[in-house]
Amino acid sequence: MLEKRDFYINGAWVAPAKANDFAVIDPSTEEQCAVISLGDQADTDAAVNAARAAFESWSQTSREERMALIEKLAEVYDARQEEMAQAMSMEMGAPIALSRAQQVGAGSWHIGGFLKAFKDFSFEKDFTSTEKTLLEPIGVCALITPWNWPMNQIILKAIPAVATGCTVVLKPSEVAPLSGHLFAEFMHEAGFPAGVFNMLNGDGPGVGSQLSSHPEVDMVSFTGSTRAGIAISKAAADTLKRVSLELGGKGANIIFEDADPKAAKQGAIRCFRNSGQSCNAPTRMLVHKSRYDEAVEAAADVANNTHVGPASEEGKHIGPVVSEVQFNKIQALIEKGMSEARLVAGGLGRPDGLNRGYYVKPTVFADVTNDMTIAQEEIFGPVLSIIPFDTEEEAVAIANDTPYGLTNYVQTTDDEKRRRVARRLRSGMVETNGVGFAQGSPFGGYKQSGNGREGGAFGLEEFLEVKAVSGWAAE
């Protein structure tokens, strides 16, 4: 069993102020795989003070110095990618092939996106011939991250924060803390000065809320549930710190009558990816009535043919969900779905042959209406809800009828319709016809999916203050 009790504070690994062990469970086996410590106020203060002390000099470094350290970090990340893939696979159950290609791969992709954006990023702009606008680092940033795409989330925050000259305290998810621990090792190996990057473990009510309310923290960048996003915003209100939120989603995937014949199949595969634990998953499939029966059959077929197995097994299967808490929550929502809609694949309990581990059957519900619980709540498991529609107007109304607004999807070969519908969807992202987003593209949500944007130049701007200086040049 791994022992990872220490925190990374002020450039060194330090023991927690008080012993408070917390077991990390491997979701594939339900066995304890590691022990960490949950920090308390003294640890939080030590990490924040280190970041505060480092800010003055770090914020004055040149772009070239910071860029060189991020390039070094990228080298370390590449050289140690197998360790990172194994850590994530064990802590949150991503099958090892997916962990290597996508969980680790997402990190490399975003580092590359930031480096590209950073090279041309302008920290000074001429507002008039005499007035200058300066973009300056906001200060000490608390980064609070979830367990579902651990490295993706950490890199989307830590890299732009240090790139812009901020200093950082990272609190990874206590459910999947091993990747965050390893990332701190990478930052150390890359040679960032002491105090620029700090990492400590803790839970939401402890270190999470201590960071959110800390008077020496200037900004909280959070990814996780809408519930925690609200709690953080309230805790941050008394010190009026900036709060950047990336929260949940309930993406609609609108399949029009003229969509690619494979659209339903691909939509179901996408919904089940990472065992359904993606905030941008297309979990509501809206299908035109002329294609409805065919889509239900295709989605059920995908569910019935999706192999579920341990994370350590090679292959394209899906792994368990992350924890017993999530497993139970998903089971309760599947049970609710069975009382309100038509179950066409999957259902309650573990898949055949798996009696230990948090494995969920890929599940499809048809004849769902948008007022049902399974169409409104984020399930965060491999569960798809299929909703029929008649007209474009109806499809847009159903898609927008949710408190969330992260990613929606549109499938049609009609160019005009695709653009028209994309404009009307109230979400931060609209993916059309399966075309992936470019490197550095802004990631974030409308409504209760959050208020921030991550990735590339938009992601750098999140960590900057704007200063207007008059009389910069003599008239």
Ligand X SMILES: NC(=O)c1ccc[n+]([C@@H]2O[C@H](COP(=O)([O-])OP(=O)(O)OC[C@H]3O[C@@H](n4cnc5c(N)ncnc54)[C@H](O)[C@@H]3O)[C@@H](O)[C@H]2O)c1
Q: Which stretch binds ligand X (CB under 6 A): 13-21, 168-176, 190-198, 338-346?
A: 168-176
Residue 243 in contact with ligand X, rule: CB under 6 A? no
Question: Within 13 A of 134's CA, how many CA atoms are on the CB side?
Answer: 8
Q: Which stretch binds ligand X (CB under 6 A): 55-63, 208-216, 341-349, 413-421?
A: 208-216
Residue 223 in contact with ligand X, rule: CB under 6 A? yes
| 129/71 Cα distance (integer angstroms) | 35
Residue 248 in contact with ligand X, rule: CB under 6 A? yes
Query: What is the number of other CB atoms lying within 10 angstroms of the CB of residue 46?
Result: 20
Residue 374 in contact with ligand X, rule: CB under 6 A? no
Q: Which stretch binds ligand X (CB under 6 A): 55-63, 170-178, 362-370, 415-423?
A: 170-178
Contact letters for ligand X, residues 287-326 (x by CB under 6 A):
----------------------------------------
Q: How far is the CB of 228 from ligand X (least distance, A)?
A: 3
Nearer to ligand X, 145 or 411 (CB): 145
- Yes or no: say if 33 and 85 are a contact pair by the CB < 8 Å rule: no
Residue 452 in contact with ligand X, rule: CB under 6 A? no
Nearer to ligand X, 106 or 194 (CB): 106
Report, in angstroms and rounded to the nearest whole number, the Rg of the chain calculated over CA atoms.
23
Binder of ligand X out of 139, 450, 456, 459 (CB under 6 A): 450
Contact letters for ligand X, residues 114-153 (x by CB under 6 A):
------------------------------xxxxxx---x
How big is the CA angle at 62 (ends 59 and 64), to the nearest 5 degrees? 135
Binder of ligand X out of 27, 139, 195, 208 (CB under 6 A): 208
Residue 346 in contact with ligand X, rule: CB under 6 A? no
Closest by CA to 384, choosing from 334, 432, 318, 429, is 334
Helices 150-163, 178-190: axis angle to 10 degrees equals: 30
Binder of ligand X out of 38, 231, 311, 372 (CB under 6 A): 231
Binder of ligand X out of 224, 309, 319, 459 (CB under 6 A): 224
Residue 379 in contact with ligand X, rule: CB under 6 A? no
| 137/52 Cα distance (integer angstroms) | 13
Active site positions, annotated? 246, 279
| 232/144 Cα distance (integer angstroms) | 10
Ramachandran bin of 433, using left for φ above 0, alpha for ψ from -120 to 50, beta for the remaining angles: left
Contact letters for ligand X, residues 173-192 (x by CB under 6 A):
xx------------------
Binder of ligand X out of 378, 410, 411, 427 (CB under 6 A): 378
Residue 243 neighbours by CB under 8 Å, 6+ apart: 212, 219, 220, 222, 232, 233, 236, 451
The token duo for 381 is 């498991």
Residue 431 in contact with ligand X, rule: CB under 6 A? no
- Residue list 72-101, contact with ligand X (CB under 6 A): none
Residue 274 in contact with ligand X, rule: CB under 6 A? no
State which H helix or E strand residue 345 sits in: strand 342-345
Q: Which chain residues interact with ligand X by CB under 6 A? A: 144-149, 153, 171, 173-174, 203-204, 208-209, 212, 223-225, 228, 231-232, 246-249, 279, 378, 380, 406, 445, 449-450
